[in-house]
Each structure stands twice: as C-alpha cells, then as structure tokens.
Amino acid sequence: MPTDVLMRLAEALATGAVRVIDLSQTLQPSTPVIQLPPQFGASNPFRIEEISHYDDRGPGWYWNNIALGEHTGTHFDAPIHWVTGKDYRDGYTDTIPAGRFVAPACVIDCSKEAAADEKFLLEPAHIEAWEGKHGRIPKGAWVLMRTDWSKRTTPESFLNMKDDGPHVPGPSAAAIRFLIEQRDVNGWGVEAVGTDAGMAFGFEPAFPAHHLMHGAKKLGLASLTNLDQLPPTGAVLITPPLKIKNGSGSPLRVLALVAG
C-alpha cells in the first residue's frame, strides 16, 4: 500500500473532505448506568471531585479525581465481559489487538421503528432488507443500530424503566447469531445504555448481544450518539478503550471518520 494514503487522509481531514464525528455522550454524574436488581453488585455511576481549582489546594492548577464503572456512559464491552468469553486471553481491554479498534461501520436505521415501538427488535429480515439497499455487511465491520435513543436526554426516558422491565429497543438473538455466523462482524453497537434490548433478560439465550457476541470474541459499543450523522456505509470508527489491565470494558471517546 502506498505510504501516501495517510498523507492523503491528513489532507482530506484538513480540507474537511473527511470529517470527524464524535459519537460519545458527555460523561457527567447524571450519566445513566445500567440498573440491575439490588441484590447484585452495582456499577458505579460517574463521580467527579475537585482536587484543586486555582485555590489553596493548588494555586495554579485545576484538576479532578474521577471514579466510575468500566461500563459507564459511552463504553466498550470487551469479550471477557461475559462468562461466554471468559477464556479469551486476548479478550481483555489490554490484550485485544489494537487493529480491532479501527474498523468500518454499517449503520442500520431503525429510528422510525423504535419511535413506533419502544420494544422494537431487530431481526435478520431487517438486516437482509438493509443489505438489499446498501450491500452486504463486510467481514470485520461494526454494525450499529440507529434508534435515535440518544435523543432521550433525561435518565428516566433513556432507561425507560417500566414495571415489567426496561422498554428499550435492541437486537433479537437470531439477528445477533446472523451477524456472527453469516457476517463475522467486528462488533455490535447501540445508542441505548447496553448492547442488548431492554427485555433481553427473557430471551433465549438471555442477553444475546452479550452472550453470543462475546462468546464469539466480538466487541460491543453502548450509549453511542450522533448515529444520525453517519452514512449507512463508509464511515470508519476509532474505538480504543483505556488500556486497563484485565479490564472488561472501558468508557471511551468514539470517533467516526466520514467522507464529504
């Protein structure tokens, strides 16, 4: 490959021919985290405490201590996150090959369906219909489910907790199986708080976007935003998690490179 391909990319970035789109939520104390029954351990929300602010604690500088769970805000799910992926030595945040952190993305627009049905499930038929218009999902690509869920700005409406569980759209087990077995994707990303549908605790298997994806050493991205600014195909995602030793995931800044 000619070395000037990167120089041409740099030039395209400088001229705006390639734009950088931020797919990350702002991390703040009100950032919603996944809710589990209280007898389970709970992931910490994002917390920030000032160390000094140009004051008696440090006259010339401002900085904070932060604390949060690995799966808080816009975050990366490593294969080791789920019990089905527990034996992958290259499935931790610090051992996943870095090449997997830069990959193209296919964006399936389910925003109309999710607006009509908060419990909308993406099925293989929807994926095949999308491929009919935009072409076959390439091996090693991210598949992102656009629901416009990120436009729900209050934690209540974002988590959408109801008496029978969260009403949040997501993939069916069959759709996940299709993406793994038929398309060999890099991973699966969503706008909601987790990669699975709200009612996925009752699926077979439960939580397929975790159980099956991570069992197949695939990656996950949750709490993405701005998917409405991506083309159906052609965007390249940059998704490096923090290099946490034996990390199961990480909050991260997700960037998309988009032509034009």
Partner 1 sequence: MPPPRRAKPKHPLRRFPTPTLPPLARSRVALGLTAFAARGVFALQVCRDCGTVHYPPQEACRHCLSARLDWRPQDGAGEVLSDTVLRHSNELYFRARVPLRLGSVRLDAGPTAIAFVHGACAAPPARVRLHAALDRGGAAVLAALPDDEVTTMADDRVLRELTNDPAGRKVLITDGRAAVAAPLARALAAAGADLIYVGMAEPWPPAAVAPYAQIPEALVRPLDVTDSESVTDLAAEIGGKVDILINTAEHHRPRGILARGTESARAEMEVNYFGLLRLAHSFAPGMRARAADGAVAWVNVLSIFALTNFPPHGTFSASKAAAHSLAQGLRAELRGAGLRVVNVYPGPIEEEWSDMLPPPKIAPAALAAAVVAALRDGVEDVYPGDVAQDWLARWRDNPKALEREVAER
Q: Write down the least CB distance from residue 64 to partner 1, Å.
A: 10
166 binds partner 1 (CB under 8 A): no
Q: Write down the least CB distance from residue 163 to partner 1, Å.
A: 7
Q: Looking at 81, 126, 210, 211, which residue is catalytic? A: 81
163 binds partner 1 (CB under 8 A): yes
Report how far residue 27's alpha carbon sits from residue 74's, in angstroms, rounded to the nearest whole number. Answer: 8
Q: Write down the least CB distance from residue 41 to partner 1, Å.
A: 6
Q: Write down the least CB distance from residue 50 to partner 1, Å.
A: 8
- Residue 180's closest CA among 154, 147, 207, 219? 219
Q: Considering only 25-33, 112-120, 144-152, 165-173, which stretch makes contact with partner 1 by CB under 8 A?
A: 25-33
Q: How far is CA 11 from the centre of its chain?
A: 29
Beta carbon nearer to partner 1, 45 or 187: 45
Whether residue 219 contacts residue 79, with contact meaning beta carbons closer than 8 Å, is answered with yes
Q: Write down the least CB distance from residue 65 to partner 1, Å.
A: 11
**Site map (CB under 8 A) of partner 1, residues 114-153, x = contact:** ----------------------------------------
155 binds partner 1 (CB under 8 A): yes
What's the Rg (C-alpha) of the chain? 19
Among 3, 14, 15, 29, interactor with partner 1 by CB under 8 A: 29
Among 2, 37, 41, 60, interactor with partner 1 by CB under 8 A: 41
Report how far residue 173's alpha carbon sits from residue 204's, in angstroms, rounded to the nearest whole number. Answer: 7
Q: State yes or no: is 126 an active-site residue.
A: no
204 binds partner 1 (CB under 8 A): no
53 binds partner 1 (CB under 8 A): no
Among 23, 45, 110, 193, interactor with partner 1 by CB under 8 A: 45
Give the residues lining the site for partner 1 (CB under 8 A): 28-30, 41-42, 44-45, 47-50, 155-156, 159, 161, 163
Catalytic positions, please? Answer: 81
